[in-house]
Amino acid sequence: MSAGVGEADGLPVGSLICPEPGERPDLWSWTTLRRPDGELEIGGVAASVLAREFGTPAFVLDRADLAGRAQVWATAMAEEFWEGYGMAGGDAFYAGKAFLCSDVVRVVSQAGMGIDTASLGELTLALRAGADPAMVGLHGNNKLDEEIELALSAGEGAGIARIFVDSLGEVEQIAAVARRLGTRARVMVRLKTGIHAGGNEYIATSHEDQKFGVSVADGSALEVVAAISARPELELLGFHNHIGSQILGTEAFVAAVRVVLEFRARVEREFGLATPEVDLGGGVGIAYTGVDAAPTPVIEVVRAIAAAVREVCGELGTSIPRVSVEPGRSVVGPTTVTLYRVGAIKDVTLEGGGVRRYVSVDGGMSDNIRPALYGAQYTATLANRLSGEAPVRCRVVGKHCESGDIVVHDVDLPADVRTGDLLAVPATGAYGYAMASNYNLLAKPVVVACEGGRASVVVRRQSMEHLLELDVQ
């Protein structure tokens, strides 16, 4: 569906400037800019045009930016793990849970990425959108038989690339489904390595008390390997470890490489089982606000992983495996802004003096739960105009019946911010729409992809009819 707006709306063509004068550009997608008339534009389409044509709140996805980020990941993995450099190949799988729709599947697939899924819904959508089953994975700590069945029967019975085994019980579950379908399953074992990372920090022996994976330390991972090797229906591809989220720097990834490869070498020694692959998960961080540390460039992360793989395999005297990664946030997070319409505004006197201006918008925790869920910080800017007014301290809040319904905790907005203005919140592409709910029976927003002056709906706004469809009258 293409509305073709933006190209003929008579507004001057934007100049290539950072949308906020003097602000860092990495908060905004590559084609987001401030037009000479003061409007924010994304993919060549002005904010006011988007609001008029598609309504608010709206997730606005910069498609060229998404294609670019997906290409960076796919190319970096292919190049740094190239056979010509003595490596065994590398792949990047997009973690679909960050945000999945058919358009995103097509864009990231075309850029050379595979897709990782974690439910029947995600797997069905990815396959329906045309993802190559040979580049699709299935995760989950509590897989349903139906999910495994679809995974093994996709691609005319050839099955998807890999299923990640998360527990001992799952070995028999997957084998039973494979037996029933008369096929074999390619599996990787999700390891609990003790390494946990986020921000600049990582811990090498984090608590084992969480639900994902099987422990290297207590021997459960070896038990799972033994069970897999006893099942003719299962082919063990290798080992997986996802160490966390919003990770800066490369040290944590390097530490994970060592633990995973040492485990792989142990399996080879003790079981005579050589495994061809390892997967190092996702977790590369992005910037959400102007005070966040600069994210580590993808190429630096990939090079650090490649160097560590080479070094550790050399030390252990093992073959070099094919290496994959599963970035989600760093692929889709920075591609998208949420456009909101400003409604009620009120000034609140703070304890100890001072005033905070509460600026309400027409969405909130139903389209972005991250501030309420993890205290995530965002920023916002006026999208329909520039203002010369002095800034005032604002809190952007939603329209839900929760005082924790905050979109942006603290942001300076011009003092003349008023009802009817448009606000843009950057970096909402990952875990925004994907975690959206119908709290207070708000309809889920529209997702619009902009590129080259054209805007297309890629996920329709939920209608009142759809919203009430399940209610039994």
Ligand X SMILES: *Cc1c(COP(=O)(O)O)cnc(C)c1O
Residues contributing to the site for ligand X (CB under 6 A): 95, 97-98, 139, 242, 245, 281-284, 326-330, 430
- Within 8 A by CB and 6+ apart from 107, the residues are 63, 66, 67, 70
CA distance 43 to 14: 10
Nearest CB to ligand X, comparing residues 116 and 367: 116
Amino acid (1-letter code) at residue 122? E
Nearest CB to ligand X, comparing residues 109 and 324: 324
Tokens encoding 199: 């921000």
Nearest CB to ligand X, comparing residues 6 and 114: 114
CA distance 334 to 108: 15
Backbone angles phi, psi at 68, to 5 degrees: -65, -45
Nearest CB to ligand X, comparing residues 327 and 432: 327
Neighbour tally for 358: CB within 10 Å = 14
Q: Which of 59, 29, 26 has the alpha carbon at shortest distance from 43?
A: 29
Nearest CB to ligand X, comparing residues 14 and 328: 328
- The answer to whether residues 401 and 362 touch, using CB atoms and an 8 Å cutoff, is no
- The answer to whether residues 365 and 371 touch, using CB atoms and an 8 Å cutoff, is yes
- The answer to whether residues 140 and 147 touch, using CB atoms and an 8 Å cutoff, is yes
Residue 241 C-beta: closest distance to ligand X, Å:
9
Tokens encoding 341: 């319409």
Residue 404 C-beta: closest distance to ligand X, Å:
23
Nearest CB to ligand X, comparing residues 212 and 271: 212
Q: Would residue 401 show up in a list of annotated catalytic residues for this protein? A: yes
Amino acid (1-letter code) at residue 154? A
- The answer to whether residues 112 and 134 touch, using CB atoms and an 8 Å cutoff, is no
Residue 110 C-beta: closest distance to ligand X, Å:
20
**Which of 18, 101, 394, 401 is an active site residue?**
401
Query: What are the E-state strand segments in 289-335?
Result: 322-325
Residue 170 C-beta: closest distance to ligand X, Å:
15
- Compute the half-sphere exposure of residue 472: CA atoms within 13 Å on the CB side of its CA: 0
DSSP letter at 275 equals: -
Residue 302 C-beta: closest distance to ligand X, Å:
13
- Positions annotated as catalytic residues are 401
